[in-house]
Structure 1
Amino acid sequence: MRRALLLFSGLLMIAAPAAAQKFSSLPRAKANAALVFPLTVITKQNLDFGYISVNAAGTVVINPNTSARSVTGGVLAMGGRPQPATFIGVARSASVVNIRIPKQPITLTRVGGTETMQATNFTLQGQDKRVLARMEAFEFNVGATLNVAAGQVEGVYTGQFDVTVQYP
């Protein structure tokens, strides 16, 4: 029995240097770029209400100014990456742009089902009319309120909404 213990100890000593090499540090960083042509708008990130749980009817609100999520009623915030939608545009010449966000509710439908929720009260970060310099890029966020019913069926819900930027 003593030999087995010594053999086992020897294996640990041999394995230890290999394990140390396994944990070498290789820092990684991401590189991103957004290519936007003048007089266009692109979506940088989508509106995400994050993970929620429902005990009773309530709402989830994403603030476009602070990116904060708040919940009311029987809705509980459960993590995820809640965030407002972010858009980027570029003006060709010095001009004024008008940003239009939805005024009507949009429907989110459960993936693989027919259950729905409504997103309402869309809000814009900053002014809807902006004065821009020539070839100036601008970015803005859009938030909204998600209306959750009591007994809402579990699942992932998706929907789409339009944002319009008018370049006079």
Structure 2
Amino acid sequence: MTFMSSIWRAGIALPVATSALFVQPAQAQSANGQASANINQSVTVVKNADLEFGTFVPGTVRSVFRLNPNNGNLNQRNGDAVAIGGAPAPASFTATGTPLLRVRITSGQNRIFIVRDGGTETMRVNRFRFDGPRNRFLNAAGEATYRVGGQIRVRPNQAPGTYRGAFNVTIDYF
């Protein structure tokens, strides 16, 4: 029976082996894919208002004043200088771009020095603060407005005059 069993197995194996020689490849199938990209308009930034600390009478020691970007209040942190008016107000910037996208504001400087017109005397402005989170979404019209406050240091016996300087902000998508 062993001999018959081997013949029987060989008889089955032979057709399987020969049919493998005549197997036709499966027909190739293809499909198309799509490629896409979104292009957002660039963010533009417009300055609406400058950062204005107001008018001071210097004291005998260094004095520090902080302008709140949320409400425009000027608060004296220390020293004996006196704020005597003017129109303290935060700076204001409006970003315009693709509606509902997320933007971020950053300030390139931690501090700047403003210089007296016609002179070399300086005052330090630092601790720039925003009126809310740095990261915001542009509204349905594609706009977001940021207000920026900061801190100013009035030196003892600071020379009288108008002091000016510039700071920058960057607003971009992220």
TM-score by length of 1: 0.73
Deviation by residue 1:11-52 (Cα, 9 ceiling, x = unmatched): xxxxxxxxxxxxxxxxxxxxxxxxxx9621111010000011
Q: Return the alpha-carbon distance in structure 1 between the equivalents of residues 151 and 139 of structure 2.
A: 33
Report deviation, 1:93. Answer: 3.7
Report deviation, 1:166. Answer: 1.1
Residue of structure 2 equivalent to 1:55: 59
Q: Return the alpha-carbon distance in structure 2 between the equivalents of residues 88 and 129 of structure 1.
A: 14
Could you say what secondary structure the match of 1:55 adopts? coil
Letter paired with 1:66: N
Q: Return the alpha-carbon distance in structure 2 between the equivalents of residues 132 and 45 of structure 1.
A: 20
Identical amino acids, percent of aligned pairs: 31
Once the two structures are superposed, the pairs formed by residues 90-105 of structure 1 within 5 Å of their partners are: 90-105=96-111
> Are residue 136 (structure 1) and residue 146 (structure 2) matched?
no
Structure 2 residue ranges without an equivalent (≥5):
1-40
Match of residue 85, structure 1, among 69, 73, 91 = 91
Report deviation, 1:94. Answer: 2.9
Letter paired with 1:67: G
CA pair 73-39 structure 1, distance change in 2 beyond 3 A: same
Contact 2:98 2:138 in 1 (8 A): no
Letter paired with 2:65: V
Letter paired with 1:45: A
Could you say what secondary structure the match of 1:123 adopts? strand
Runs of 4+, deviation exceeding 6 Å: none
Residue of structure 2 equivalent to 1:3: none
> Are residue 76 (structure 1) and residue 82 (structure 2) matched?
yes
TM-score by length of 2: 0.71
Contact 1:101 1:124 in 2 (8 A): no
Residue of structure 1 equivalent to 2:22: none
What is the root-mean-square deviation of aligned Cα atoms in Å?
1.7
Residue of structure 1 equivalent to 2:15: none
Match of residue 146, structure 1, among 149, 152, 155 = 152
Deviation by residue 1:58-92 (Cα, 9 ceiling, x = unmatched): 01211001110112311211011010001111122
CA pair 102-125 structure 1, distance change in 2 beyond 3 A: farther
Report deviation, 1:133. Answer: 4.2
Report deviation, 1:150. Answer: 0.7
Could you say what secondary structure the match of 2:87 adopts? coil
